[in-house]
Amino acid sequence: MSSDAELIGRSLRGDTDAFVEVISRHETAIGNYLARRVGRQAAEDVLGDVWVAAYESRARYDRSYPEARPWLYGVALNRLRRHWRSEPAAEEPAADLTFVVSDWDPWPAVDARVDAQALLRKALARLKPEEREVLGLVAWEDLTVAEAGRVLDIPAGTARRLLHQARKALREAPEVVALLQVPTT
């Protein structure tokens, strides 16, 4: 099986199917990354822009890295930033609870989950943007710290420091401390 770097090299030599293979290898991961940040519907539009931008910039890909996933996350992050600058802020859609059985009261569980999410969002919002990005790439996108550094175009050591700072800040955030405390009965 060819590496992503080999496929990108072949695409530069005119093999259009080679770049399609790169896309098919990573479309789910990149699509999920975008959906977590802008929602499923907007992610589909942004994802198309990601593939166009990646195709157009593939000559600048550093083929010493066999896997293109971190590079594609970087392209996706740049497209997200462009999307955020061009779109007005929108409210998140309300959750669809029509599937809930009528004799079950979901609200205590929903309230607890909403409260926890709000507290976590508040703690995450206090992080520096770079810390949040490294944390998200490592925790949610399953990248290594070095790969997260590549996505953000920073040295691996800097990415490691930012991840450490983010984890430390979250561990010390009053909201997170309160969430993690076990109630005594």
* Percentage with pLDDT > 90 across the chain: 61
pTM of the model: 0.70
Which residue type is seen at 94?
Answer: A
Mean pLDDT, residues 99-126 taken together: 62
Least Cα distance to 25 among 49, 48, 4 occurs for 4
Model confidence at 184, in pLDDT bands (50, 70, 90)?
low
pLDDT value at residue 178:
72
Domains annotated on the chain, with CATH: 1-93 (1.10.1740.10), 103-185 (1.10.10.10)
Among residues 7, 6, 42, 43, which one has the least CA distance to residue 24?
A: 7
